[in-house]
Each structure stands twice: as C-alpha cells, then as structure tokens.
Amino acid sequence: MWTTENRARYDRSKLRYPTDLTDDEWTLVKPLIPPAKRGGNRRTVVVREVVNGLMYILGTGCQWAALPKDLPPRSTVNDYFLRWQHDRTLDQLHHALYVQCRERASREASPTAAIIDSQSVKSAEKGGVRTRMVTMLAKRSKARSGTSSSTRKVC
C-alpha cells in the first residue's frame, strides 16, 4: 500500500538514474559480490558503479554501446557481467535477494504453488518449434519458387 513511509522508501528521484542502487539496496548486495582475484593488479573500479551499470542495462534494455559515460566503460561492465555469470554470482545474488524479499513479506522462502500458462502447455503438446517449422515448409508452394523448366535461356 502506498503510505507516506512506503513512498519515501521507493522514491528514486534523488538518484542519478532510476536504476541506480540506493544505499539500503547496496548494503544487501555488497556482501554477495566476490572479492577481487588474488595476485595481479589491485581492483581500480568501483564495484557499486559496475552494478549500477548492469542495472542500467537491465532496467532500460539499452545496448552496451549506449551505456552513459558517467558509468564505468562498457567493456568493464560487460567483463564483470560475463565473469559473474560464469561463476554463478548473478544466480546467487538473485536467489539471496529473492529469499529476503519473500521473508520481508512474511512468506516462506520458497513458494508452495506455481501457475502454468495454458498457452505454453498447448504449444508443448503440439511439439513446439520443430512441428511449426515442418508445417511452414509444407505450406510453401513449389510453383512460387521462381524457377521453371519451361523457361528458355536467351543468349
């Protein structure tokens, strides 16, 4: 319910971008981010800004090249994204935040019921993509192919 307290909690007007993490959100995410690799150079990028860059991409649906200049370079954000996807950091992050969200709403950590969309079930019963491709190929007329044996080649 939109109470005065909730409106203040969800207000994002003071952030640089609506997709940036608030301080409270960052305190939840920070412990889940893996530390820098041992050896090599020290980490010079601000990890919070990398997460803000990822959130910007996910929130706006923009291309990597359209990442604003005041966020880390797109190559840096993309490298972290690929690394965290490979080592399953993003999956762990999603799961931890999902569990916290459900617990804050006074619900069990894992849902006890699920809803299946009937259209998804119907397409699976028909055989899915493979059946549709075969059907589309069968409907094509060979007469419309543009080649005909009765056409003579003029020299």
Domain ranges of the chain: 12-104
Residue 126 has a CB neighbour count (10 Å cut-off) of 10
Burial-class residue 104 by CB neighbours within 10 Å (0-12, 13-18, 19+). exposed
C-alpha span between 41 and 107 (Å, rounded): 44
Torsion of CA 142, 144, 149, 154, to 10 degrees: -160
pTM, entire model: 0.64
- Residue 22: pLDDT band with limits 50, 70, 90: confident
Yes or no: say if 17 and 69 are a contact pair by the CB < 8 Å rule: no
Q: Is the pLDDT of residue 83 over 70?
A: yes
Express as a percent the part of the chain with pLDDT over 90. Answer: 32
Instruction: Say what the pLDDT of residue 125 is.
Output: 54
